[in-house]
Homo-oligomer: A and B are copies of this chain.
């Protein structure tokens, strides 16, 4: 754990929600100006490999990173892109059935829910603050 990686981890902790690499880069600049973009990616990849953070692929944009590493699922607002953690469903039956059906050995699972957040649902005018 180098100072740079710690700085990236700190920046991730300070960002609310599930920031992208770009957001983490912007935040980390406040503490360690000049830290290279590539180093942020290096650090993020290293942290993901070590299991200290999660990398999420919620849509076709940039990856988002998540400090929470226990098993949990996510709800995405299709209007504003807000991403919220939710308690994971028990793996149970679904994983077992998927294993039988596919012949795969299954290690994990992640469910992504799609919907509309409270703000986007209340006012259809698009004044949701998360946009």
Contacts and interface: CB of A to CB of B under 8 A. Distances in A.
Interface string A72-101: 010101100000101101000111011101
A106 B113 contact: yes
How many protomers of this protein does the assembly include?
Answer: 2
A63 B60 CA distance: 7
Given A57-B60, A60-B55, A107-B78, A113 B95 contact: yes
A105 interface: yes
Interface residues of A, number: 39
Given A55-B60, A107-B78, A99 B87 contact: no
Given A58-B57, A117-B104, A109 B112 contact: yes
Interface of A: 55, 57-60, 63, 73, 75, 77-78, 84, 86-87, 89, 93-95, 97-99, 101-118, 121
A18 to B, nearest CB: 13
Contact of A115 (B58, B104, B112, B113): B104
Contacts of A110: 111-112, 114
A59 to B, nearest CB: 6
Contacts of A60: 55, 57, 63
